[in-house]
Amino acid sequence: MRALLQTSLHGPAGLRLVTDAPVPVPGPGEVLIRVGAAGVNYADVMRSHGTYEGGPAAPFVAGLEAAGEVVAAGPHVTAVHVGDHVAGTGAGAFAEYMLLNAAALTPVPAGWTDEQALGLLLNWATALAALRPLGRVTAGETVLITAAAGAVGQAATRLAVHYGATVIAAASAGKHDLVRELGAAHVLDARTADVAAGTLRLTAGRGADLVLESAGGASFRAALAAARRVTGRVVVYGVAGGDATVSNRELNFTHPVHVIGLHLGILIDTAPDLYAALLTELSALRAAGVLTPGTPAVHPLADGPEVLAALQSRTTTGKLALRP
């Protein structure tokens, strides 16, 4: 089959289109899907550099998220059938066929195409987890969202507005109209502004009740300073700009805030009831018309290296996808 192989850990340039990758065979609890569309995520950029925690050594078939039609099922799969269209996460999504764990996928909603269902899990469930069970957002609160124009960021912005929060969006210039259209009340330039000072100014010195922090590096430090002292929460779910630290001394004296880590894969594995509740809430949001079919920018599989490079260079907005 055709697939994008990560041949070295030198970033997106290490991706090669091959035509002779073996079609995987589903084992117990797995289904084989014909990939209709594969989601491109920031994690793919990190895996291409070997900086994703626990990521594979090269060579490996890249990609972590896809939607498509089930064409074969392994032993012990009962709830999913050949012909179903499903979306899920797993290794090797940038290919014509991939395996998914039958227990952790979601049906493509009726009337939606495969590509419209991308992001349901990785983007919307992450955004919802950050805002609700972990971030405990309530109506009337102020939420600072980093990378607000990105795939997770757009979902988070729409959800925060839906739940009655005032959104301060941080994004590169050129993406500001987009986040305003999604409902952000205020926009800060993620590259040139002092995001902490801007947030304090917009909140009359109190700080944001909740910060969704995925940009990493200096953005993590800004998030600590932007959060409201004592009651403010900082949910950390990305490290795009690199590692950053907070000390026990700072949490004691200068940043007495709640720092909360989030990794969706770990949440799925270790808190399945919480994940089930997220999926139920996402269904309700779909029924209420808050979560609408996705509109990813879809590119041919062969353009994968350029698409990942664009994601890495901060020039993209919203969801990106590859069609095999």
Ligand X SMILES: NC(=O)c1ccc[n+]([C@@H]2O[C@H](COP(=O)([O-])OP(=O)(O)OC[C@H]3O[C@@H](n4cnc5c(N)ncnc54)[C@H](OP(=O)(O)O)[C@@H]3O)[C@@H](O)[C@H]2O)c1
Cβ-based neighbours of 282, under 8 Å, separated by 6 or more: 120, 124, 125, 128, 291
| Residue with smaller CB distance to ligand X, 93 or 151 | 151
| 178 contacts ligand X (rule: CB under 6 A) | no
Please state whether beta strands 85-89 and 97-101 pair in parallel, antiparallel, or not at all (unpaired): unpaired
Q: In what order do the strands lie in the sheet with 258-261?
A: 186-189, 166-171, 142-145, 210-213, 233-236, 258-261
Is residue 314 within 8 A of residue 42, CB to CB? The reply is no
Stretch that binds ligand X, among 15-23, 37-45, 106-114, 198-206 (CB under 6 A): 37-45
- Burial category of 120 from C-beta neighbours within 10 Å (exposed 0-12, middle 13-18, buried 19 and up): buried
Q: Minimal CA–CA distance to 143: which of 185, 104, 181, 171?
A: 185
| 90 contacts ligand X (rule: CB under 6 A) | no
Q: Which of 262, 268, 291, 301 binds ligand X (CB under 6 A)?
A: 262
Question: Whole-number minimum distance, CB 159 to ligand X, in Å?
Answer: 14
Partnered with residue 5 across adjacent β-strands are: 16, 61
Question: Whole-number minimum distance, CB 306 to ligand X, in Å?
Answer: 15
Token readout for 34 is: 């014909």
Question: Whole-number minimum distance, CB 309 to ligand X, in Å?
Answer: 11
| Residue with smaller CB distance to ligand X, 228 or 314 | 314
| 89 contacts ligand X (rule: CB under 6 A) | no
Question: Whole-number minimum distance, CB 8 to ligand X, in Å?
Answer: 21
Q: Which of 29, 241, 256, 293 binds ligand X (CB under 6 A)?
A: 241
| 42 contacts ligand X (rule: CB under 6 A) | yes
In angstroms, the Cα distances linking 181 to 149, 175, 176, 177, 197 are 11, 10, 9, 6, 24
Cα Rg, the chain, nearest whole Å: 20
Q: Which of 176, 301, 314, 324 binds ligand X (CB under 6 A)?
A: 314
Question: Looking at beta carbons, which residue is closest to ligand X?
Answer: 150
| 41 contacts ligand X (rule: CB under 6 A) | yes
Token readout for 99 is: 């395996």
Site string for ligand X, 119-158 (x = CB under 6 A): ---xx--x--------------------x-xxxxx-----
DSSP H stretches of helix in 65-112 = none
Stretch that binds ligand X, among 63-71, 233-241, 251-259, 292-300 (CB under 6 A): 233-241
Q: How far apart are CA 170 and CA 127, in angstroms?
A: 15
| 233 contacts ligand X (rule: CB under 6 A) | no
Question: Whole-number minimum distance, CB 146 to ligand X, in Å?
Answer: 7
Binding site for ligand X (CB under 6 A): 41-43, 122-123, 126, 147, 149-153, 171-172, 175, 190, 214-215, 237-238, 240-241, 262-264, 311, 314, 316
